[in-house]
Amino acid sequence: MSKEYFGTDGIRGRVGEGPITPEFMLKLGWAAGRVFRQEGRRNRVLIGKDTRISGYIFESALESGLAAAGVDVAMLGPMPTPAIAYLTRTFRACAGIVISASHNPFNDNGVKFFSAEGTKLPDSTEEQIEHFIRQPMEIVPSSQLGKAARFEDAKGRYIEFCKSTVPFHMSFAGMRVVLDCAQGATYQVAPSVFKELGAKVETIGVTPDGLNINHEIGSTHPDQLAAKVVETGADLGIAFDGDGDRVVMVDHKGEIVDGDEILYIIARDKMRKGRLKGGVVGTLMTNFGAELAFGELGIPFERANVGDRYVMEALLRNDWCLGGEGSGHIVCLDRTTTGDGIISSLQVLAALSDLGITLHEAKKGMSKLPQHMINVRVSQKVDIKGHVTIQSAIASAEKQFAGKGRVLLRPSGTEPVIRVMAEGEDEAKVRSIVAELAKIVEGSV
């Protein structure tokens, strides 16, 4: 069954435009309540959100819908997305809901769901929710209506959980860290975690006003963080996105350390300690330099489609524990059940502390290859794999790289374009190959 509302990461869109309206959220809450409610027990769903102003509206609407379906609601307030996953599991709730549009600007919003186990919902559950969205809304008898309450201790519990993911004896005393919380959901939690582990912490992006989330700040805009690290002489910087499931870092020289490099640092450290279970999952967009670096370490590497959902599917299929994306969405299944920016960055700091090296030194084992991409606009769907001319051009380009580069053509999932990308050791050659491939694609559609 095809889904009308759910995408690869929940439901998302512009505030005030369907389905991101109060009316829809009321019905969504009721539909989700119908699916999650189990007879014979008092059911509870957790609701958390990031700092965007529209969260107030949708929080109330979802609460009303869930209560109308006979489900209790625990309101957590602004909390990182991975915190909702953790708390859903530990509080034995039947589901968790996050109101967030992740790294998008404030005038977007969305809803993500977590199962009772703290994992993303399977397609079958999302299809069930959509089934009830299309049904008339029937409120349970008054004696069975759900209740709502604010959960006051949520932040403290999550802070302790984050700290527990590094060895008990470990302290980051003497380490100077700048945190960029993107004016988002980590603005209260992240500084506490790193301070309580001993680091000397400076912060930016910790004064959210409902409108400034992700605005020229955070993991998608790390330049301000890089400047602050250099200015203050800090050892490193850590930038989260608006809902805290992504992280990008900055070394003491102000150089950006992206998700591919973070994944490499964590994987190498786990291998050194004998704790790397199987291999590592990246995506179609993971830099080829990472693949080569994992190969040199003898670590199996597999590419999944772009999106944390697909990374997770590959990890579970292989029974591996580590995967991620260049955007900074890192999944450490030996620590938690979903991508978590705070926990991922803690694993990096633990590795640096163990080895007594800087972040700049830790990333040296991996050399990112030059990458270039052109978006070719198309008026209709193109079967890239079945197009003889395009496939011949791809084969010719790959032959030029002689195993030291790669070519990727993929349709965008959000706009009518084909992304033509290549990477290799010689930047000039990469750009030339991409330009030639883009011309061939343009002439073939």
Q: Give the CATH number of the domain where residue 401 resides.
A: 3.30.310.50
In angstroms, the CA 374 to CA 290 distance is 22
Residue ending a domain, choose from 321, 344, 365: 365
**Weakest-pLDDT range from 35-39, 106-110, 117-121:** 35-39
Helices (H), 187-253: 189-196, 223-232
In angstroms, the CA 28 to CA 18 distance is 12
Q: Is the pLDDT of residue 398 over 80?
A: yes
Select the more confidently predicted residue: 282 or 309.
282
Q: Are residues 209 and 335 in the same domain?
A: yes
Q: Is the pLDDT of residue 413 over 70?
A: no
| CA angle in degrees (0–180, nearest 5) for 186-189-192 | 135
Select the more confidently predicted residue: 264 or 151.
264
Is 2 part of a structural domain of the chain?
A: no
CB-CB contact of 218 with 184 (8 Å): yes
CATH number of the structural domain spanning residue 162: 3.40.120.10
Residue 379 banded pLDDT, cuts 50, 70, 90: confident
| CA angle in degrees (0–180, nearest 5) for 240-290-430 | 105
Rounded mean pLDDT, 135-146:
96
Is 181 part of a structural domain of the chain?
A: yes
In angstroms, the CA 105 to CA 242 distance is 9
Is 394 part of a structural domain of the chain?
A: yes
Q: Are residues 80 and 124 in the same domain?
A: yes
Mean pLDDT, the chain, as a whole number?
95
Pairing mode of beta strands 176-180, 72-78: unpaired
Rounded mean pLDDT, 424-432:
94
Residue ending a domain, choose from 337, 365, 393: 365
In angstroms, the CA 261 to CA 248 distance is 9
pLDDT of residue 378: 86
Q: Cα dist. 31→26, 61, 419 in Å?
A: 9, 12, 37
> What is the number of domains present in the chain?
3
The three-class DSSP label of residue 259 is helix
The three-class DSSP label of residue 150 is strand
Structure tokens at 298: 């003898």
> Is-catalytic flag, 100?
no
Sequence length of the chain is 445
Q: Are residues 345 and 387 in the same domain?
A: no
Residue 1 banded pLDDT, cuts 50, 70, 90: low
State the CB neighbour count (10 A cutoff) for residue 376.
20
The three-class DSSP label of residue 247 is strand
Residue ending a domain, choose from 365, 384, 410: 365
Is 5 part of a structural domain of the chain?
A: no
Q: Cα dist. 81→72, 206, 209, 237, 303 in Å?
A: 20, 17, 19, 21, 25
Residue 415: exposure state from Cβ atoms within 10 A (0-12, 13-18, ≥19): exposed
Q: Are residues 302 and 382 in the same domain?
A: no
Residue 167 banded pLDDT, cuts 50, 70, 90: very high
Q: Are residues 257 and 352 in the same domain?
A: yes
Is 180 part of a structural domain of the chain?
A: yes
Which residues 6+ apart lie within 8 Å of 444 measured at CB? 382, 387, 389, 390
Rounded mean pLDDT, 284-294:
94
pLDDT of residue 8: 80
Residue 308 banded pLDDT, cuts 50, 70, 90: confident
Beta bridge partners of 47: 75, 97
CB-CB contact of 80 with 189 (8 Å): yes
Q: Is the pLDDT of residue 415 over 80?
A: no
**76: domain range?**
11-152
State the CB neighbour count (10 A cutoff) for residue 425.
14
Q: Are residues 59 and 112 in the same domain?
A: yes
In angstroms, the CA 256 to CA 248 distance is 7
Rounded mean pLDDT, 167-192:
97
Give me the catalytic one of 54, 64, 100, 102.
102
Q: Are residues 333 and 412 in the same domain?
A: no
Residue 188: exposure state from Cβ atoms within 10 A (0-12, 13-18, ≥19): middle
